[in-house]
Structure 1
Amino acid sequence: MRQFPRPIVVVSRCLEFDKVRYDGQVLHSRIVRDLEPFVDYIKVCPEVEIGLGVPREPIRIVRKDGSYRLIQPATGEDLTDRMNSFSEVFIEELHGVDGFIFKSKSPTIGLRNIKVYAGVENAPVVERSTGFFAGKLLEMYPGYPLEEEDRLRNTRIRQHFLTHLYTFAGLRELRKSANLVDVQDFLSRNEFLFLAYNKDIQKKMFELVQDGAKPIDNVLDELESLLKQLMVKPPDHQANIEAARAMFQLVAIDLSKKENKFFEAVLGRYEQNKICFSTVLELLKLHFLVSGKDPAYHSLLLPYPEELILEVDEDRDKDFWK
């Protein structure tokens, strides 16, 4: 049984935990609930942290003379300096984090499409940006798994986020041992996953440990830099096919021509969008088990705990004929 690291995740406090939203509500998020038994959360609500009450008057980002300010229209209070100071202290005290889940549409902790207004009141939206607090984290943690809870309802985005998160948690664990053998094992485990994401970057990763001459701290720093580039976006279907085909070669020699041909036919159906990639992976797992190899060793087959895999058909047992 594969042992997964326990990721450290910064999460908006209003998601499942505390009634700290501006309207005094707590919001429900399946991804936050699902992850709770498997991660360690660092909960934060920037607006409460700078002294705003619950409930409270809404705040907004205002662009004026090329400068961005955080304003509470009902009071006219400018909260910019307080928010910037809190953000700097929070980031300075933040260590060993693996990922972030934020509240969408928030002027402080939202990541995308946050409204920026031309004025404090009765003013149009002039652009879309990032929340004040979230923007600081984006600057300090480029390439890390950062998502908003509403986007994580999408199955593909959720899968990519979890894969990204557990890969970064594995890298953090790798830094604790800081030895070449563990780095080589990390690359071996992730060989086909990294191939799917970007074969050129994957090649550079393996080149880091070819001669064993580099100091291990340098290797880890370069590996982290490459990993940030690697996992910006999930693989497309052609990259998935290439990685699955390469992985299949580990067991293909023990299989008959008919079995090899069947696997290619399965890849063909996936390419035609007739089956999902999880079907291809399940077939690979079966071949690895039959050949005596451990499928759980390879992160392409199991990138995160099985308990976090979503149901494929929530209405499977619903009686549509009663």
Structure 2
Amino acid sequence: MNSPQIPLRDKPKLGISACLLGNEVRYNGGHKESRLCNRTLNEYFDFVPVCPEVAIGLGIPREPIRLVGDPAAPRAVGTVRREMDVSAPLAAYGERMAGELSDICGYIFMQQSPSCGLERVKVYQDGGRPSEAKGRGLFAQAFCARHPDLPVEEDGRLNDPVLRENFITRVFAYAEWQQLLQDGLTPKALLGFHSRYKYLLMASDPQQYKTLGRLLGNLHQHDLRELAPRYFSELMAALKKCATRRTHSNVLQHLSGYFKQALSSTDKQEMQQLISQYRNGVVPLVVPMTLLKHHLRRNPDAYLAQQSYLQPHPENLSLRNAL
């Protein structure tokens, strides 16, 4: 249980704003290197760097651009030469790259960028003041519209351990689904995938866990080609919800129940104590998880062993140590 139970044939590919990898592509000739991406995540992912502003022909260095007008449909123009409007080229490049990067499993965008920012990007009004409502970078907007299920996140938000763990969990789920599609989707394969993600789904969205279970309970009544994309979209939306100490504790209780016949009263008491300590914020998630895996090694259970919840991402990333 030191790696995802379903081995991926290749490292998942991630699109990424090129400046986050240290590429000197920003308007001032600089970069915004992310130590997390460039020195930690690069061991587990193949990055595909993209700088839409350079790609559409803006130089390095260059006049900065910013969003102006309606926050719901802003334009990207020069900060000095307002007549330099690059809105259409940025949107067109987003559409193009959405088609070309069909094999990526996630995307890390540069925050607050008028081309790449996912949210909270300043949109300036007449007089030079930003509006209260925020916008979205035009490249990111066009790209994400074509890939609504793709895990996306901004670099700055990845400094939050909960958001970081959630994003990387979704990336590996996405990668596993893409591999499943490549191998040929069958009703049995779909049910097996859902079975693996049962407890991860329960931790993220208990209500959707029940809904998707009912959906697949009537699998024989549906066209698999129509049902599978709907199932996956709803799964990815559910996994985007960050699990809480309460929902994690609920899942840990379910999993510990599999050992109720095998454990001594002392072992059961220890397990319950650690779950309680985790729920109350005394210890991180990795503590009760480690004990649970210890009991699973001593009391093998095939159904539990294949649960993605136990190891949804490489153990060496230590993502659950901070949860």
TM-score when scaled to structure 2?
0.88
Matched with 2:36 is 31
Q: Distance in 2 between matches of 1:245 and 1:156?
A: 21
Q: CA deviation at 1:70?
A: 0.8
Q: Distance in 2 between matches of 1:197 and 1:300?
A: 10
Which fold has the larger relative contact order, with Cα–Cα distance below 8 Å and residues 6 or more apart in sequence?
2
Matched with 2:171 is 165
- What are the equivalent positions in structure 2 for 1:1-322 lying under 5 Å apart? 2-5=5-8, 6-33=11-38, 34-63=40-69, 68-76=74-82, 77-119=84-126, 123-126=128-131, 127-176=133-182, 177-210=184-217, 212-213=219-220, 214-293=222-301, 297-309=306-318
Say which structure is richer in strand: 1
Matched with 1:319 is none
| Equivalent pair of 2:95/2:143 in contact (CA under 8 Å) | no
Aligned AA (1:29): S
Q: CA deviation at 1:21?
A: 1.2
Runs of 4+ in 1 over 4 A off after TM superposition: 64-67, 310-313
Q: Distance in 2 between matches of 1:79 and 1:220?
A: 38
Q: CA deviation at 1:211?
A: 5.3
| Equivalent pair of 2:197/2:309 in contact (CA under 8 Å) | yes
Q: What's the C-alpha RMSD, in Å, of the aligned pairs?
A: 2.3
Say which structure is richer in helix: 2
TM-score when scaled to structure 1?
0.88
Q: Distance in 1 between matches of 2:264 and 2:233?
A: 42
Paired residues, what number? 311
Cα displacement string for residues 99-133 of structure 1 (whole angstroms, at most 9, x for unaligned residues): 110111211001121110013xx511113211111
Q: CA deviation at 1:151?
A: 1.2
| Equivalent pair of 2:24/2:31 in contact (CA under 8 Å) | yes
Cα displacement string for residues 193-214 of structure 1 (whole angstroms, at most 9, x for unaligned residues): 1111122222233334435513
Percentage of pairs with the same residue? 26
Answer with 239-248 or 260-269: which moved more.
260-269
